[in-house]
């Protein structure tokens, strides 16, 4: 398996090189040259595997340059009981909310968010690559809430890796901030930016586009622009279909397709679902759920992608999706248009700020299975109440966005799986508002919120960020 850039300016390379580079040298995103196929027969052979075993099988389709036994050891460590209680990803029915509805539990890891599943894999495989090459890596990332803490907890104390994590000042929940800023490991550097997540993301892209600086300071990425994260996220789509079809006779499984509802702001998680569907996993529809920052809903509803600026990006009660420039959408549009047409039409976005693909609108749903919807604060509160009343389950506000859109779009005869985003405890104030009582303040959360926090605040500019990296970066 080889990987190329959406912009066409990168020599094809392998999986391990992709893991250390993040963004392509030409500023594009890295994509596989081809998408591997998984047949129904092959899927059936995976049914009895544990989650770590399944992860090794699926990721090996992309990580063809990592020896099989090494990859199995890496996934065994990443998804073992030290980080996740078995079965790692529980799938729970929500039939009392709506018949055929289910919740895919992606928040069992150390930071209580779905980002742990991909990040714990990177936390094993990147040090493995660095050890074999005698190298170091300075990871530069941006977070709207959960990526940062997941990365920092995966790499804290690791030799050869330093983390420089940008976050939007005062735009995360108290628990999200505490999970990051309370770490005092010497290889962790938290940087709050006076701006929104999109500003943080733009700074990461600007640094990554400076080839000389990136090379001098061995800059890498663990945001969803890193394809290693995408590969690890494909696994739970496969796992979810295997679990939801476990109770069926083998003769019924062939036609048993599912709909998957994915709360998404940066298009990374649902892009992994798109690859899973393209590989042959029986996914009928990929249902994208957004909050009031509904740039992606607008695109899949109209075919027009119109990113918004910082001033137009709203602060909502599902803050991890307060994003108005979806980085990973470039990967999908590259596939939608084909390399030549993509490079021609992407210039429209760069010059006018708008990409009009309304001529492709029918293909988005008919060929690729995408539909979308958005949710409001009131919708989130109602979804939290409805799920808790019916099942006793607490859900976080991002998952509530997924529930809201799922209930609007699900169809009889097709199981609808909602990908959980985080534990409700990370967003206790919103859950309290929905349920009218203190529910989430566990002793662990109380202890976390009481710890000293360590963060440096900078202006929304490259110069102070470069200075921090120059002063603290690891060097070989």
Q: How high does pLDDT run on average in the chain? A: 93
Pick the CATH number of 91-111+234-435 from 3.30.230.10, 2.60.40.180, 3.40.50.1100, 3.40.50.720: 3.40.50.1100
**CA-CA distances (angstroms) from residue 251 to 40, 82, 242, 283?**
12, 38, 14, 18
Distance CA 200, CA 194 (A): 9
Q: What is the pLDDT of residue 440?
A: 61
How many percent of the chain have pLDDT more than 70?
Answer: 97
pLDDT at 258 over 70: yes
Q: How far, in Å, CA of 89 to CA of 234, rounded? A: 13
Mean pLDDT calculated for residue range 420-446: 85
32 phi and psi angles, rounded to 5 deg: -70, 145
Q: Is the per-residue pLDDT at 145 higher than 90?
A: no
DSSP 119-187: HHHHHHHHHHHHHHHT--EEEEEE-SSHHHHHHHHHHTT-TTEEEEEEEETT-S-HHHHHHHHT---TT
What pLDDT shows up at residue 255? Answer: 61
So what's the pLDDT on residue 133?
A: 86
Q: Measure the N-to-C terminal CA separation of the chain; round to a whole number of Å.
A: 29
> How far is it, in rounded angstroms, from Cα 42 to Cα 280?
10
Q: Is 76 exposed, middle or buried (0-12, 13-18, 19+ CB in 10 A)?
A: middle
**CA nearest 29: which of 230, 188, 168?**
230
pLDDT, mean of residues 261-268: 94
Contact 443, 181 (CB under 8 A): no
Average pLDDT of the segment spanning 439-448: 78
Q: How does DSSP classify residue 460?
A: S
* 1 C-beta neighbours (distance < 10 Å), count: 18
CB 198 within 8 A of CB 457: no
Q: Which residue has the higher pLDDT, 235 or 245?
A: 235
pLDDT at 248: 63
**For residues 59 and 235, is the Cβ–Cβ distance under 8 A?**
yes
Q: Model pTM?
A: 0.92
Q: Is the pLDDT of residue 367 over 90?
A: yes
pLDDT-derived band at 438 (thresholds 50, 70, 90) equals low
> Stretch 413-427: mean pLDDT, rounded?
94
What is the structure's pLDDT at 220? 87
- Give percent above pLDDT 90 in the chain: 78
Task: List the one residue out of 466, 397, 391 whose CA is nearest residue 428.
Answer: 397
How distant, in Å, are the alpha carbons of 144, 170, 201, 217 from that of 167?
6, 9, 9, 21
Cross-strand partners of 3: 13, 32
Residue 251 has what pLDDT? 57
| Gap between the Cα atoms of 267 and 451, Å rounded | 33
- Taking CA atoms, 449 is separated from 169, 176, 441, in Å, by 17, 10, 10
350-387 exposure pattern, b = at least 16 Cβ within 10 A, e = fewer: eeeeebebeeeeeebeeebbbbbbbbbbebbbbbbebb
Q: What is the pLDDT of residue 257?
A: 92
206, 56 contact by CB (below 8 A): no
Q: Output the pLDDT for position 198.
A: 87
Q: Which residue has the higher pLDDT, 26 or 3?
A: 3
Q: Which residues contact 28 (CB under 8 A, 6 or more apart)?
A: 5, 6, 7, 8, 9, 10, 330
Length of the chain: 476
Q: Is 423 a catalytic residue?
A: no
Beta strands in 271-365 (DSSP E): 283-290, 304-305, 355-356
* Catalytic position from the list 57, 115, 214, 426: 115
Q: Pick from 169, 249, 183: which is nearest to 456 by CA?
A: 169
219: three-class secondary structure by DSSP: strand
C-beta of residue 185 within 8 angstroms of C-beta of residue 194: no
Q: What is the mean pLDDT of residues 124-136?
A: 92
Q: What angle do CA 46, 51, 52 make, to 5 degrees?
A: 105
Q: What is the pLDDT of residues 101-121, one digit of tens each?
A: 999 999 999 999 999 999 999
Of the candidates 467, 475, 476, the one whose C-alpha atom is nearest the C-alpha of residue 207 is 467
Q: Looking at per-residue confidence, does 188 or 209 come out higher?
A: 188
Alpha-carbon span 406 to 260, nearest angstrom: 9
Residues 138-163, mean pLDDT to the nearest whole number: 90
Rounded CA-CA distance 149/146 in Å is 6
So where are the chain's domains?
91-111+234-435
Higher pLDDT pick, 427 / 441: 427
Q: Report the C-alpha gap between 116 and 155 in whole angstroms.
A: 11
254 pLDDT higher than 60: no
What 8-state DSSP symbol labels residue 422? Answer: B
pLDDT digits over 49-82, tens only?
999 999 999 999 999 999 999 999 999 999 999 9
The answer to whether 476 touches 134, Cβ cutoff 8 Å, is yes
Residue 253: pLDDT over 70 = no
Q: Give the tens place of pLDDT for each residue, 12-54.
A: 999 999 988 777 888 899 999 999 999 999 999 999 999 999 9
Phi, psi of 403 (to 5 degrees): -60, -45
């Amino acid at each position: 398996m080889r990987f190329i850039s959406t912009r066409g300016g990168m020599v094809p390379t392998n999986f391990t090189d992709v893991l250390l580079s993040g963004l392509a040298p030409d500023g594009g995103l890295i994509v596989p040259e081809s998408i591997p196929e998984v047949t129904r027969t092959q899927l059936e052979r995976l049914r009895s595997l544990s989650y770590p075993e399944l992860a090794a099988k699926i990721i090996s389709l992309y990580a063809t340059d990592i020896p099989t036994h090494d990859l199995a050891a890496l996934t065994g460590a990443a998804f073992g009981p030290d980080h996740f209680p078995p079965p790692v990803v529980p799938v729970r029915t929500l039939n009392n909310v709506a018949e055929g509805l289910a919740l895919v539990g992606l928040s069992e890891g150390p930071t209580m968010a779905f980002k742990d599943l991909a990040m714990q894999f990177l936390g094993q495989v990147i040090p493995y690559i660095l050890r074999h090459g005698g190298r170091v890596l300075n990871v530069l990332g941006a977070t709207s809430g959960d990526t940062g803490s997941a990365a920092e907890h995966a790499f804290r104390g690791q030799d050869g890796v330093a983390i420089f994590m940008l976050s939007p000042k005062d735009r995360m929940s108290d628990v999200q901030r505490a999970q990051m800023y309370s770490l005092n490991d010497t290889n962790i550097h938290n940087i709050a930016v006076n701006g929104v997540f999109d500003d943080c993301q733009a700074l990461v892209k600007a640094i990554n586009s400076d080839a000389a600086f990136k090379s001098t300071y061995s800059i890498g990425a663990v945001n969803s622009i890193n394809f290693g994260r995408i590969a690890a996220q494909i696994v739970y789509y496969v796992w979810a279909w295997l679990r939801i079809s476990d109770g069926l006779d083998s003769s019924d499984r062939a036609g048993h397709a599912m709909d998957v509802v994915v709360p998404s702001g940066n298009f990374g998680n649902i892009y992994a679902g798109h690859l899973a569907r393209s590989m042959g996993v029986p996914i009928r529809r990929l249902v994208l759920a957004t909050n009031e920052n509904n740039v992606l809903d607008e695109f899949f509803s109209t075919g027009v992608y119109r990113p918004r600026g910082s001033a137009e990006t709203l602060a909502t009660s599902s803050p991890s999706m307060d994003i108005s420039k979806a980085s990973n959408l470039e990967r999908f549009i590259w596939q939608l248009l084909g390399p030549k047409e993509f490079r021609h039409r992407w210039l429209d976005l760069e010059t006018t700020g708008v990409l009009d693909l309304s001529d492709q609108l029918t293909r988005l749903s008919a060929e690729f299975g995408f539909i979308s919807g958005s949710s409001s604060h009131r919708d989130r509160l109602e979804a939290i109440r409805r799920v808790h009343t019916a099942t006793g389950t607490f859900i976080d506000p991002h998952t509530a966005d997924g529930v809201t859109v799922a209930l609007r779009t699900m169809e009889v005869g097709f199981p609808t799986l909602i990908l959980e985003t985080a534990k409700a405890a990370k967003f206790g104030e919103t859950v309290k508002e929905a349920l009218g009582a203190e529910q989430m303040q566990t002793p662990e959360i109380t202890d976390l919120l009481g710890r000293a926090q360590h963060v440096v605040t900078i202006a929304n500019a490259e110069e102070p960020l470069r200075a921090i990296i120059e002063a603290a970066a690891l060097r070989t």
